[in-house]
Amino acid sequence: MALKNEIDTEDASRRLAAWMESKIDGAQHVQVTDLEVPASAGLSNETVLFTASWHQAGTVHTRKMVARVQPAGQGVFASYDLGKEASVIAALGSVGVPVPEVYFYEQDPAVFGSPFLVMQRVDGRVPSDDPPFTAGGWVLDLTPEQRTTMWHNSINALAQIHAADWRALGLDFLDTDANGSGVHAQLANWRESFTWAADGEANPTIEHALEWLADNVPAAPSATVLNWGDARVGNIIFADDLSAAALLDWEMVTLGCRELDLGWWLFLMRHHTEGIGFPLPEGIPDRADTLAYYTSITGYTPVDIDYYEILAATKLSIIMVRAAHMMIAMGLMPPDSPMALNNPASQLLAELLGLSALTGETATFIGNR
């Protein structure tokens, strides 16, 4: 989804070059070129791609980099913490999880108007969200066997995250109720997020879902592991051999049971197929096969997965409420857009809960550029 880009690329190039010269020991003649802000790069943090070159000890260095820029005000989420993301990414990289190398984290808003994170720019391809990879793009050009390989490599990477010893990696700062550790904390935080996102607007489907989730919390959650938070194939850069070259977008990172990530993965898969009316491409494992493969490589059999998929559907529906209000405020959707109430996520949520089908016009962010 593309929200309006606010970054002046020419001015940002100059300011970024001056900033980098102050950050790299002995760097001289720093230049930032090819700076661009992709038209469609997510729902919240802004992505800035650029090439940096500099002279250092008689040698010219050139690197492709990417900056993740925090919203200057409130975004899709009420708060952001790029410092937390930087710590998680760096820690996971130290144990071989495929993540970009973190170069810098800057809190000073002088360069982009808000804090930002500078990382390695990893070469490869990312399955598209707009249009969804199930509807078009390079994934559909693969053979069924290649799509199976891509999917299995994705689940392998997810399993690596879950296997990471978050305490030994120094990530125990995540172990707080405010961060959303545990199911009850997740529900409390997402209920608060809904109140903030809805801004007084009623949403019967989400309200019913939050009550159902509170009344049906699984009795015995599994062990706490590190959760990616936004675990989906569209957040993975794939190398030419279809291995996972880098896992992206860590703003929803949390601690919890494995099923939190698995439920999100399965629901996003459902959203990009059933939700928008496209079949699962041949070769991509379906829900049952995805779970079976996860079990085969981890030795862990997911439990209560239906609950966690409904939780994921509720979370995405809440995000869509906020996204709809933002897009209306920016003039990207008409004031009477039904997206906050009726979108593919909320329709699937209603179906999963056995509610009456939502009626009237449906709207989504896909294609709204």
Q: Which is more confidently placed, 356 or 243?
A: 243
Of 36-40, 109-113, 213-217, 228-232, which gets the smallest average pLDDT? 36-40
pLDDT value of residue 169: 97
pLDDT value of residue 361: 58
Q: Which of 125, 121, 123, 122 is nearest to 51 (CA)?
A: 121
Phi, psi at residue 149, to the nearest 5°?
-60, -45
Q: Which is more confidently placed, 362 or 263?
A: 263
152-199: per-residue pLDDT in tens? 999 999 999 999 999 999 999 998 765 556 788 899 999 999 999 999
pLDDT value of residue 43: 61
What is d(CA 294, CA 133) in angstroms, rounded to the nearest whole number?
22
What is d(CA 247, CA 104) in angstroms, rounded to the nearest whole number?
18
Residue range 138-352 forms a domain whose CATH class is: alpha beta
12-35: per-residue pLDDT in tens? 999 999 999 999 999 999 999 999
Whether the per-residue pLDDT at 57 is higher than 70: the answer is yes
pLDDT value of residue 369: 34
62-116: per-residue pLDDT in tens? 999 999 999 877 789 988 899 999 999 999 999 999 999 999 999 999 999 999 9
**pLDDT band at 367, cuts 50/70/90?**
very low
Give the helix ranges, DSSP H, for the chain: 9-23, 82-93, 144-163, 183-198, 204-215, 258-270, 287-298, 305-329, 344-352
Domain boundaries, the chain: 9-120, 138-352
Whether the per-residue pLDDT at 303 is higher than 70: the answer is yes
pLDDT value of residue 3: 53
3-state secondary structure of 10: helix
Topology of domain 9-120 in CATH is: Phosphorylase Kinase; domain 1 (3.30.200)
343-361: per-residue pLDDT in tens? 999 999 999 999 986 765 5
pLDDT value of residue 2: 40
pLDDT value of residue 181: 60
Q: Which is more confidently placed, 99 or 330?
A: 99
What is d(CA 226, CA 237) in angstroms, rounded to the nearest whole number?
20
Q: Average pLDDT of 285-292?
A: 98
pLDDT value of residue 200: 95
Whether the per-residue pLDDT at 221 is higher than 90: the answer is no
Q: Average pLDDT of 274-296?
A: 97
pLDDT value of residue 360: 58
Q: Average pLDDT of 329-335?
A: 90
